[in-house]
Amino acid sequence: MAVETDIERAVFFSADDFGVTATYTPSGGAAVSITGIFDDEFEPIEAGGFVPVASSAPIFHCKTSDVLAAAEGDALTVNSTNYIIRVVMDDGPGTTMPQLEKQ
């Protein structure tokens, strides 16, 4: 049994605090508004040289119930930027982290 419900998760992802509103569009489906926490920090990648290469890995933390059937190729628009979902990662009971690719 989950420790928290979607009601508690909604508070965590609230657009009034840390969350942002995004538009999720499953392949062949209708667009819906969801809220979550968008993270797009640069990460150093060791490529075998003396200086690491900088890369970003945008992720959108959200309630699993908002993206139950999320799959690679679905679309997500965050802050007017279009992304394609490349990997859907389960982040524990009730939360999902789609990894995104900027379009």
The pLDDT tens digits of the residues spanning 21-69 come to 999 999 999 999 999 999 998 888 888 878 888 888 899 999 999 999 9
Q: What is the pTM of this model?
A: 0.82
Taking the C-alpha atoms of residue 85 and residue 100, their distance in angstroms, rounded to an integer, is: 5
Is residue 1 situated within a structural domain? no
Distance spanning both ends of the chain, measured CA to CA? 38
**Which has the minimum average pLDDT: 30-34, 54-58, 80-84, 96-100?**
54-58
Average pLDDT of 72-79?
97
Amino acid at 63: K
Is residue 26 situated within a structural domain? yes
Is residue 46 situated within a structural domain? yes
Taking the C-alpha atoms of residue 65 and residue 83, their distance in angstroms, rounded to an integer, is: 20
Asked if 98 contacts 87 with a C-beta cutoff of 8 angstroms, the reply is yes
Q: Please report the pLDDT score of residue 15 as a whole number.
A: 82
Neighbours of 12 (CB within 10 A): 16
Please give the tally of structural domains in the chain.
Answer: 1
Q: Please report the pLDDT score of residue 3 as a whole number.
A: 66
Q: What is the CATH number of the domain that holds 13?
A: 2.40.10
What domain range is 51 assigned to?
A: 6-102
Average pLDDT of 14-26?
91
DSSP secondary structure code for residue 94 in this structure: T
Q: Are strands 32-39 and 20-25 parallel, antiparallel or unpaired?
A: antiparallel
